[in-house]
Structure 1
């Protein structure tokens, strides 16, 4: 991600850089770089991978075609960020990291109106540098080597934006501290509104049977689903869905959907 005047314009440790890197532990929480096909906004000399393929400023990633699941940490300047987020919204498969400037036109048009889910991160992120940098903080110089963490936070809260149902799943399962907000809600006959993910599939099966079901029955019914085929831990995911979703345990491995209130 590149940005003028530091991160957000009020980074408390000044440095002569326009490029700020995604914290690697955040990316790992989303499944690591192998989760993403492309980072179209990677830094020159990127010190660690953020996706299986990278485009830099020399490639003009905004002008190139995008394929697969995209990781996007775009420039945060107001005249540019809407173009990057708009392209990801049109692409429909990816996760973006940006500041939670929820009142801006770009956020309204390309995030609120386009995303499947958001994860507002707790606290403020500490970004990393793409090359050796010397920061001035409190009148003293602080040297940070390439790939190191900046000595001050980004100056504003951050949010992860999911475009596509599978990317919404990634945010929901990341374990990152913050507030998960599903946006594209699908009303079900039970009166619950959820992102169309595992919860929706399990609810649909129970609705079709119209009686409580056993966990083994759900395993058999979902074994051939596309979501199960993509997830080697799909049985654990079904159990997690039952425990966290709008379901009620009746004992003996039997479950039913909660009644609408």
Structure 2
């Protein structure tokens, strides 16, 4: 139901931040939310919803891709148990990785976990964002190939951990290697320019490099790197790899 997470005992119903649903493919990509917020809900979390107390999502059948933000407390274990058996969907829960629920129904069955950066701000039933955060870190738990793929490419800040061999292999084969250090980038640029180069030529050679694109002050970083490496200056604004 967007969960029963509580930063303060004002309400028992806390809604999933809509940006999370959007990052995972939007509400239309989920077939079912089995513990959805009651109507009138400010936004959908799936194409179909089971709403307590009129519909008991633990007893009713689940079909397709499931979004699960379960009630907290002892009942959460029952929800994760059903999700692990369904094995197609994503759950949003607190990062209490030592609990029985994790050991029984997350670690053995989930395909991957994304530890969200910071603490979430859930929303009130009317859609307003709570000022207080959730009081604990949260994770997204993916069950099944489709959901782990969407989670890997969601763009949500945090750290993803693969839990199955196919997922780990996918990460090895498809994830980009870390960009090299500036010293390697600068030395390679000068080498490619014939072993010596003017600053303006080094700037031009590296302006489209991933390291430069991520740094608005990349020219300063290049000069700083040249200074730290002690590269010999052979002319005004011209440097070489070797004297």
Structures share a fold, TM > 0.5? Answer: yes
Normalising by structure 2, what TM-score? 0.68
**Partner of 2:48 in structure 1?**
53
Shift in CA distance, 170/186, structure 1 to aligned 2, threshold 3 Å = closer
**Partner of 1:27 in structure 2?**
21
How much has 1:186 moved relative to structure 2?
3.9
How much has 1:244 moved relative to structure 2?
2.5
**Partner of 1:244 in structure 2?**
176
Aligned residue for 1:82, secondary structure, equals: helix
Normalising by structure 1, what TM-score? 0.63
CA distance in 2, matches of 1:124, 1:29: 17
> Conserved in 2, the CA contact under 8 Å of 1:38 and 1:68?
yes
Radius of gyration: which is bigger?
2
**Partner of 2:169 in structure 1?**
194
1:73 aligns with 2:73: no
Q: How many residue pairs align between the two structures?
A: 175
User: Within 5 A, what are the aligned runs for 1:214-253?
Assistant: 241=174, 244=176
**Partner of 1:63 in structure 2?**
59
**Larger strand proportion, structure 1 or 2?**
1
How much has 1:15 moved relative to structure 2?
4.0
**Partner of 2:89 in structure 1?**
94
**Partner of 1:118 in structure 2?**
113
Aligned residue for 2:156, secondary structure, equals: coil
Aligned residue for 2:62, secondary structure, equals: coil
> Conserved in 2, the CA contact under 8 Å of 1:128 and 1:147?
yes
1:157 aligns with 2:137: yes
How much has 1:158 moved relative to structure 2?
0.2
The Cα offsets for residues 9-45 of structure 1, whole Å up to 9 and x where unpaired, read as xx2xx34311110000111111110110000010111
In structure 1, the gaps of 5 or more residues are 131-145, 188-192, 204-240, 246-261
**Partner of 1:230 in structure 2?**
none
> Conserved in 2, the CA contact under 8 Å of 1:182 and 1:194?
no
Aligned residue for 2:21, secondary structure, equals: helix
CA distance in 2, matches of 1:123, 1:91: 29
Q: What RMSD over aligned residues (CA atoms) do the two structures have, in Å?
A: 2.0
Aligned residue for 1:55, secondary structure, equals: strand
1:107 aligns with 2:82: no
> Conserved in 2, the CA contact under 8 Å of 1:121 and 1:177?
yes
Aligned residue for 1:112, secondary structure, equals: coil
Given candidates 148, 166, 169, the residue that maps to 1:168 is 148
